[in-house]
Structure 1
């Protein structure tokens, strides 16, 4: 009986060892050392170990007893190094062709014979540049690469810069499992897959274990180090860390060599338990070199669900969706706790950041959830076989230089051609001007007629007309700066007068702007869909000669912003401000409810509310507008756009756009209307610089009067002010679900206006009343206003005349 446990232990050890990867090529070199060095369960050989050969014209072996201050598993290899005074190389015999790790250990030792911190050198292998102009940091660093070796040897070259030297503390060249790096991986674009990944060199950028746990190399079959994800998390308060290593069940969708149980058994999960209605994302930020593609591997294992088909979520790279409604159970054939992984290629960009995001899915009425167990990011060598960022810049500059050389070489030919073409150009120009003049005559002499190409020159309603550029120039006196009435991100706005004396506002976009073109298209598309008395009307547009011009109805009194602050325009009284607020709310309410799919303005601010000759408000500028969510969705996932100070904080954090984002921005406009000051005012004391932060404190009972514009002092009736303050506070609620709809806002604003009409605020008066009747009326009217909260809303508004949406 006593022998049985020994046999069992032997069998278990044999089974475990059979699953441990045993590399065919396994070269571990402790450079500069005269003896072997043990690092955990591995042994790094001395520099003179065969069959490896070192070729160098000038070599110095450096040894010291000092070790790095930071305690690491591999600290034993850093007290020695080999220093190269000239171009040198290591040659490693390769027994099994295929993928190999190459790990280079660097730590600039303090040694009396050489200051290694001044080294400057490059490293290459096969046809790939691994490092260029490398200057090692003052802390230990391991550079890790994957190369597909297709010959019987690997030559690793160290090339010092002129008047400098190279060094290395330790080297690894190790075979890796064939399945570790795929030949191709999907991109998150319609282009499909990138083939021939094996023809590139890969460099480790990040290898992260989720769940706020570090995995040391001795706990990984391929001796990999996995950093904790905590330092990369954007919002650590939105997640929770879970651990259940014993539950990991390898069933073939991943292996211990792809990632160990200590990775699959820990995870970072969306924390939605406290509020299931909260839909947040968890995001990790990584610094990368721009201009390169990146191989990204996600590791998943559902260690939290009690049964299959309970975990659905979305996966994003740089805010672009790569997997929607990802079902972990489907990925693992409904085998719970089974690890799996998915690979993607992130295409090159100009950004130095690569963002990884997991967000809740809205499919199948899924509970808002999401999980990630591990992540690997590897840089892919460029078309020149380089992994160095500097090379990418040089290649780009060289390419530009070649382009300019080619351009320069044909300048002479072009010059001659231009001389010959000049006569033809003059003839063409004259014909074009004649055609434009004919179009103008058609427009103003024959309304409703058609031009020679069959397109209507003008409609009777002046809506949706495509204006000739010549007409626009005439109306604006060739875009005279004296006619500029506004300047924005899209471009300049001019006042124009057509020949029939119609005043128009002409918005001229900045040329060659991709963003401007997108906004130009969006605004025309949106304005063509609806007509409403509280939305600025589209008259026409012009897209000739790369121009982006939109023609609107002219608004005599400019922007609401200019009537509140920052100009010499007359101040608005409280009733005017309330009516403007109501008009704006009607316009936004129509956008949100006037069609089968809501339209979200996305840039509500006082500068985008215009006033006509009667101070009637109209919402303008729809360049950032976006269609709302589908009927079965709660939001639209999109990049954050809008104006600083007006942005919904929930939209800013989660990148989830809803109509309630407009509601928040409208709440900020209400504060501007009430206070008569800008959203951000640096001239104010520090505690009142930010209008919203200051107002949130002042919206409490008894403090509201402090927010009121001094110009309105003693003008607003208390009940009207109270109602206005309550709705503004609700608009600025932190969560969208707690904010009212624009319809509810409109109702309360009209209530505030009605209260201004039926309430008479008592005034201090030392003169006796002229009659008992006058005293009676004052007393009765004030009591109705004071008790408004206890009166049925239907009674209060029984006599109110309400304007229908048009």
Structure 2
């Protein structure tokens, strides 16, 4: 071979090696564990993980037996690799490059492996990311089906990154598992950051730290999927609604369509443009804005330092000192007058994104560790407008001195499953008040109460009058709620609730509903008419207006506001706010585009729900009811469970609604509460009717009727039928006992339900309808059986049902 040819070939081989190196180290890498790879729902390509797996003597390849409805894509979640001993992945990387690592976990049923035994640790590049970690416990606590953990590793001198999975030795038969891994080279978006409360007396060089991404929010905007993220980092930016609290939620605003977002010298990879096109502000009422804060609350791990990154973009004003505001983190000054946030002063033009980082230490203490963000107008600056604004927020946890990022598993509270037998499980309904309540309404309520108190204290110290407005007297035909001086005796609980929900004026409600135009009526109930409305320039809502002649309406109004103000759950209808103004009582909810379950069961002749849809809706409703029974500080009994109170959003997600008759309180923890019988005929618990003692099993009985309605597609009561068939509960139990149940199921379902699935479902419904409450299952048992029924259906879905 000639010398020139040899040199040329050497160059070619060198280039090929370099290109291969770049593919591994620079291009985003997505591994679908135990799979040949493929594309997810966003069209992103995932490849097999085998060639990166270096040590895996105890590796087992498994598939999930059930696809949860909330999974957005089968890839990477429906395949998993299980490790019963230490296992390592090895990746070639570029030295001095920062890398983003993302882990995907779906704690489902995997053949012979009991997911409850899965406890393991994960290290990467010598950093402990997880320790004795349980994906199942974490998902249950967050009421999620799957989990994504994201980390950003600081640059190092190494050209190899090793990720190690180690099953915990503290638990019997423990194993590790993983569904998907992402490895992405990312720009170093961090620098020097000052500690909140210490100014710049103490600074941290975050560019040298290992981080865990805890929260990433697109404030007042829609969730931004990975495919629309900037910088090819495939991040998800979630909506901030679950985290916003305070005396008002503020208003959502959007940038003009013709406004160009000008990044200037800022990196586009910091955040996508859509983050900067929406924002949450306080509104146009300057007087009101000086009396409350925009407040967000985040639950975090104690004993770590966190970096809170605020994303700002002013798209309304164009001059300095038009809008300036103070920022507080955990009641410490982050950016306050005389140097408040003044975006135009900072950027010198409209439509220019900017972000600011602040570090805060979160110590251990009573209750849940949290990060509290508050914003309030900087009135000292005598600005033209008194307002605050936020476009996006990210929160990162920094590793401690031992290169550790691992937090503790959420406490295994009453939300978690306890295995009893292979086919029967129950939920522990006893909660320890000394334990942290994970994702519970009580925790949110306590945090908000602390927020309000801290806010008032800070404002008083700053010389600002604290906002302590209370409710106006409840109006109507009843005078029992007012004293002679016109003050409300029952305003305490409602005033407290005002700190948790938005307070609408009647003028806003009338404008939203076109002055309660009959064409906007979408429902009628015992409380009054329900209207479709539009608020904040385009957000659809459902507005329930009290019938002024209803004596019961006052009590239902108070119960609904007090109850739903404290509750946030995927399967409960969210209360946006209320109006007690101008002699009117109105409740404002999220708009449920697809209406009630009842409408789709036997009031809609054009389309019929498939069996899978009915199962998923029943599971969603069961989750909501189980949360009421066990997830809050005190047991909450709905007392009016029926198909008209199970609503469906545009994605067919079921949400329990109408809490006007609900009961709660410490007396529930004694097993029952004596109360007047209320509810809907056909759904009433016969034991409750006889003894007037309400228990959580009363809801279970009503839900049993709902289950048979879903199966048979007929009302709970039908007087037109023969006497023995009038009550669906009685007739269904009779047919089940005689073995003729298949004769009364919805004709549209016949031949489309596998016998094993039908048996599980029917047996569960019959147990719910037991005469004595003690013989009925807990809602946790019901939920598990329904999920098992859906799993059985899913195994033969293709052959039994055309979806």
Range class of TM-score, shorter chain? 0.3 to 0.5
Greater gyration radius: 1
Using structure 1 for the length normalisation, give the TM-score.
Answer: 0.46
